[in-house]
Amino acid sequence: MIKIYRNIIILSAVFLFATIVSCDKDEKEDIPPTVYNPTTYNMEVPQGFPTNLNIPDDNPITEEGVKLGRYLFYDGRLSGRDEEDSLMSCATCHLQSAAFEIGENHPKYPDGHPHGLNGKETPHFPLPLFNLIWNNEGYLWNGFISKENTNLGIPSYGIPAEPQYHLTNIESLVWMGIVAEHEINGTIEMTEQMIRSIDMYPALFEAAFGDKQINIDRISKSIAQFIRTIVSSNSKFDKYLRGETNLSPAESRGLVLFQTEEGADCFHCHGSAGNPLMTTHLFYNNAKDNVFNDPRDRYGVTGNEIDRGAYKATTLRNIEHTGPYMHDGRFKTLDEVIDFYSEGLVYSEYAHPLMEKLRPPYGKGAELNPPQKADLKAFLLSLTDETLLTEEKYSNPF
């Protein structure tokens, strides 16, 4: 009984206070209440691309969200620090000039292997950030971040099992990047505090989310929105598919090698004219080794024995710019990769059955002669999309 009375008194007090405040406001300023009305981002699906987009229900893409996300993606203070040597943002490792991968001649990571603010190398080499909105099969080399993942938080990193710390989508990779010791190596609190302290952000958060509140959930959502808008669909190969240009004779011969089983037989795992994403988004063991001890392979996610040594067959779009190649960066050049598929395959019982060239009469690979290797390479280079590499709306807004 006493409790109820107390609650009524508190409620009345709140009501009275609210009335006083609102009267006060009405007298002072006559601004109409602003309605939160963000503009839906017009996400165009390029010709021939799938229409099944991976956008979580609770994070629709808006112009305002993308604008905010672009700033945060490029803001080194996302690290929660502002001294010159401890700035780190997503763009530190995901460079537009390298198709949002690490690229050659990176000022900090000349060998292409990035490390976090504490100097620890990332367990794998980076992945490019484009066309991710079409990936419904899981992110990262092993697909750990996927819609099926019901885990929350990472207790060993001090991240509690709360809904905003899900492990299901691009949003997750934002807060994970902040706390991962081999990346930003910070804390959620430091990042939130730093972003709150920067003058330009409250207004951008208000436009994107309806009020000025700044928290990790909104930081993650806006960066994820920006990343979902990054599309690569304007390579020479795209233009060829749209009937706007012809491939050169070498590129055409390379395409035939790429998408025939008698040829180099790449298309089963990496897409083709019928799948211009140039990835199936699926996981395979592509016969590089016969000993498997990386805890972060596909087996590390599924626990299925057949997934040992399996990784995502990443997109071959912009492959010219995304070396070093493979999850462990073992090949520095495309020529090395082509030599590997031509005569370097290693037998193991885990090699995927689609690695057809492991079987007799081949055994070691597609056995391409030098002109064929040059043709295959010419085709791979036709997958470079200069528009992506230079498009202003993806570039550093600062």
Binding residue (CB under 6 A) for ligand HEC from 67, 270, 308, 373: 270
Residues 6+ apart with CB under 8 A from 79: 86, 87, 88, 89, 117, 178, 184, 186, 190, 191, 194
Instruction: Name, in order, each residue with C-beta under 8 angstroms of 367's C-beta and a sequence gap of 6 or more.
Output: 342, 343, 357
Q: Is 355 in the site for ligand HEC (CB under 6 A)?
A: yes
Measured between alpha carbons, how far is residue 46 from residues 7, 50, 203, 239, 277 in Å?
58, 9, 33, 11, 11
- Is residue 284 involved in binding ligand HEC (CB under 6 A)? yes
Give me the amino acid identity at 262: E
Q: Taking CB under 6 A as the rule, does residue 123 contact ligand HEC?
A: yes
Question: What residue type is assigned to position 317 of the chain?
Answer: R
For ligand HEC, give the closer residue by CB, 41 or 298: 298
Helices (H) and strands (E) in the chain, counts: 14, 2
Q: Among 207, 313, 358, 378, which residue interacts with ligand HEC (rule: CB under 6 A)?
A: 313
The residue from 61, 98, 127, 188 that contacts ligand HEC (CB under 6 A) is: 127
Q: With contact defined as beta carbons under 8 Å apart, do 269 and 260 qualify?
A: no
> Does residue 325 touch ligand HEC according to CB under 6 A?
yes
The total of other beta-carbon atoms located within 10 Å of residue 8's CB is 10
Piece of 32-40, 208-216, 323-331, 385-393 that binds ligand HEC (CB under 6 A): 323-331
Q: Which residues within the stretch 200-229 sit at the binding site for ligand HEC (CB under 6 A)? A: 223
- In the bound complex, what is the minimum distance in angstroms from residue 158's beta carbon to ligand HEC? 17
Under the binding rule (CB under 6 A), the answer on residue 187 touching ligand HEC is no
The reply to whether omega before 107 is within 30° of 0 (cis) is no
Task: List residues near ligand HEC by CB under 6 A.
Answer: 88, 90, 92-94, 114, 116, 122-127, 129, 132, 139-141, 170, 173-174, 177, 183, 223, 264-266, 268-270, 284, 286, 296, 311, 313-314, 316, 319, 322, 325-327, 337, 341, 352, 354-355, 366
